[in-house]
Amino acid sequence: MTHVASRTSTPRILVPISGSSTRRRGTAWGSAFLGRALPALALCLAVLATVVLGTGTALAQSDGETEIARQRFLEGVRHYDQHDYDKARLAFLQAYLLKPHPAVLLNLAQSQLRAGRYAEAAENFAKYIRENPTAEAMSHAKAAFEEARDKVGEISVEVNATGALINVDGSDVGKSPLPYALYMMPGRHTVRATKGGLSADESLEAVAGQRMYVTLALPEGSRMAPAAAAGAAAGVAVGASPSPPPAVTSPARSLSPTPAPAPESDSHRSPGFFGWLGSSPLAVATVTVAGLALGTSAVLAGFANNQYASANNARDQIMKALQDYVDSGNLVGSAVPCGPDGIANRPDSFDSRVSQEAVEKVSGQFANACARFNERSDSGDHLKTLSLVSLGIGAFATVGTIVWYFSDTGGSSSETAGAGERTRRQARITPMFSRDLNGVMLDVTF
């Protein structure tokens, strides 16, 4: 059942991030992020597989992520000043994933608001207000929150069972009772609740500036969940009208009980990586390519190091022989052992008292030694290049296989709570470029 309540708007105040004309207010929270609070931030982003070896390594990784987060934050400020709000939003999002700091969250929400992503902006402004009730920028945050709220529908969802998974338009948003309201762009949306093989859903039309109350009823036998969503949301929303009396619960339009599967059975669950690998010959091929390429890269790197070590040994012998001949008076002090001006090409490198026979003999020795040095050095360079190429192929095949796995199994359902409940596996790659860092951020959901 859906109940709609109107909401009066409040005056809007622009929340500046930075810029010459708004520097005093706009950078208040940015300075706090960069100055006082940044060194104390906790490690947030969990990369696909991170093995921390010792306290020193953990601290080094934390410092590195802090620096990357700082760079992303500064990029976001620069893009915002240039009114490129989409790029600012992405930069602040990357910074917040690395270091979830209130200053970054506030700037992220402001960029989302200016980029027209009002539902995301309202959600993040509400989160900032809840988690930072005494922040200096609270008045700006509340005004911007109201500006975003006026452009979206505010939905409070109640389910007659505790612990039911709530899904909006195919994306899980939490379990009942939801402590906060949901924000949706104007238009048609479907809200669904599932638990224990039972499901109920309702379609609604979100209207900008209106608050709606949705009640989903699962079959009898499920205990009624506390009506907390509407009250908690009203506590966060500044200037929200009092909650109306609870609507009479009625069965949802779609009610489809299905037998709950046995927890021990894995027959309907998403396949694990090795199960997926065994069912896909092409995936086996990509993993094999990755393994061979990485192994070949390691072997070639070892050979390259041996060649460089041999070249260094030859160089040391050449320099020692040069010094001995200079000390004995056979060569002048300015003699160069190798190259176009080397001893083999410059007879004037010898003292005038040295016989022609000795000159030819020593010149031949240096020519052969220099040739050995150049050959080993060039061989090392060639092997190093091949090693890097193999490493690139192996890394590409490895990342490609991981992304393929999550993409291929993204639509599979983990049937742990009924036919309608799904755990979606997703992988997203975000390019990250700056003056000090070039690479990609792999964001995996599973």
pLDDT at 62: 66
Q: How far apart are CA 291 and CA 186, in angstroms?
A: 49
∠ CA 224-226-230 to the nearest 5 degrees?
A: 125
| Percent of the chain scoring above 90 in pLDDT | 35
DSSP sequence for 357-423: HHHHHHHHHHHHHHHHHHHHHHHHHHHHHHHHHHHHHHHHHHHHHHHHHHHHTTT----SS-TT---
DSSP sequence for 419-435: TT-----EEEEEEEE-S
Q: How far apart are CA 81 and CA 74, in angstroms?
A: 11
Residue 28 exposure: Cα atoms within 13 Å on the Cβ side: 14
Task: For residue 88, name the pLDDT band (cuts at 50, 70, 90).
Answer: very high
Whether residue 46 contacts residue 250, with contact meaning beta carbons closer than 8 Å, is answered with no
Q: Is the peptide bond before 177 cis (omega within 30 degrees of 0)?
A: yes
Whether residue 343 contacts residue 362, with contact meaning beta carbons closer than 8 Å, is answered with yes
Residue 412 exposure: Cα atoms within 13 Å on the Cβ side: 17
Q: Is residue 85 pLDDT above 70, yes or no?
A: yes
Strand 210-216 and strand 153-159: the pairing is parallel
Q: Which residues of 149-296 form beta strands (DSSP E)?
A: 153-159, 165-168, 171-175, 182-184, 187-195, 198-206, 210-216, 254-255
Residues forming beta bridges with residue 156, ordered by sequence position: 213
pLDDT at 262: 44
Which is more confident, 254 or 146? Answer: 146
pLDDT at 434: 57
Q: List the strands of the sheet with 254-255, edge to edge.
A: 171-175, 165-168, 187-195, 198-206, 254-255
In what helix (H) or strand (E) does residue 4 lie, and over which residues does it extend? strand 2-6
pLDDT at 65: 84
Q: Going by C-beta distance under 8 Å and a sequence separation of 6 or more, which residues neighbour residue 134?
A: none
pLDDT at 419: 42
DSSP-based three-state secondary structure for 67: helix
Q: Is residue 152 pLDDT above 50, yes or no?
A: yes
Q: How far apart are CA 216 and CA 274, in angstroms?
A: 39
Whether residue 238 contacts residue 223, with contact meaning beta carbons closer than 8 Å, is answered with no
Per residue in 27-74, pLDDT (tens digit) is: 334 433 333 333 333 333 333 333 333 444 444 556 788 889 999 999
Task: Tell me what the pLDDT averaged over the chain comes to.
Answer: 75
Task: For residue 445, name the pLDDT band (cuts at 50, 70, 90).
Answer: low
Q: Is the dihedral of CA 281, 283, 287, 293 positive or negative?
A: positive
pLDDT at 441: 67
Helices and strands per DSSP (H, E), number in the chain: 11, 11
Listed residue (321, 326, 370) closest to 350, CA to CA: 326
Task: For residue 286, name the pLDDT band (cuts at 50, 70, 90).
Answer: confident
Per residue in 337-375, pLDDT (tens digit) is: 898 888 888 888 888 888 888 888 898 888 999 999 999
> Span 383-411, mean pLDDT?
84
Task: For residue 2, name the pLDDT band (cuts at 50, 70, 90).
Answer: low
pLDDT at 267: 46
Angle between helix axes 118-131 and 229-236 (nearest 10 degrees) is 80
Q: DSSP letter at 157?
A: E
Q: Going by C-beta distance under 8 Å and a sequence separation of 6 or more, which residues neighbour residue 415?
A: 261, 268, 269, 421
Task: For residue 149, name the pLDDT band (cuts at 50, 70, 90).
Answer: very high
What is the CATH topology of the domain spanning 1-151?
Answer: 1.25.40
pLDDT at 411: 47
| Percent of the chain scoring above 70 in pLDDT | 66
Q: List the strands of the sheet with 2-6, edge to edge.
A: 2-6, 210-216, 153-159, 182-184
Torsion of CA 38, 43, 45, 47, to 10 degrees: 130
Per residue in 231-256, pLDDT (tens digit) is: 444 444 444 444 444 443 333 333 33
Q: Is residue 440 pLDDT above 80, yes or no?
A: no
Q: Is the dihedral of CA 103, 144, 15, 186 positive or negative?
A: positive
Q: How far apart are CA 31 and CA 43, in angstroms?
A: 20
- Which range is least confidently modeled, 113-122, 207-216, 236-245, 248-257? 248-257
Q: How far apart are CA 212 and CA 428, in angstroms?
A: 33
Residue 67 exposure: Cα atoms within 13 Å on the Cβ side: 10
Which is more confident, 402 or 381? Answer: 381
